[in-house]
């Protein structure tokens, strides 16, 4: 099985993340966070139950700068 979140976190740590946004619907996923990357795949959706985990990661990254 593809380690979806581990790979995404690795890409974030490699500074591939351009931006993120919250959307009401993306394809068949309602209320999700879209992560935009510089490399393929360019967009990765995150479901609502994982928001807090990623928000904490973003906070740690920005606090460290």
pLDDT for 63 equals 85
**pLDDT at position 5 over 60:** yes
* 40 burial type by CB count under 10 A (0-12 exposed, 13-18 middle, 19+ buried): exposed
What 3-state class would DSSP assign to 22? strand
Confidence (pTM): 0.88
pLDDT for 61 equals 84
19-60 confidence digits (pLDDT tens): 999 999 999 999 999 999 999 999 999 999 999 999 999 998
What 3-state class would DSSP assign to 24? strand
Long-range contacts of 21-30 (CB under 8 A, 24+ apart): none
Report the alpha-carbon distance of residue 42 to residue 35 in Å, rounded: 8
**What are the extents of the domains in the chain?**
15-64
């Amino acid at each position: 099985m593809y380690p979806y979140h581990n790979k995404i976190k690795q890409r974030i740590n490699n500074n591939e993340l351009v931006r993120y946004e919250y959307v009401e619907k993306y394809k068949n996923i309602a209320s999700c966070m879209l992560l935009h990357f510089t490399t393929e795949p360019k967009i990765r959706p995150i479901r609502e139950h994982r928001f807090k985990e990623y928000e904490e990661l973003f906070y740690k990254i920005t606090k460290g700068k």
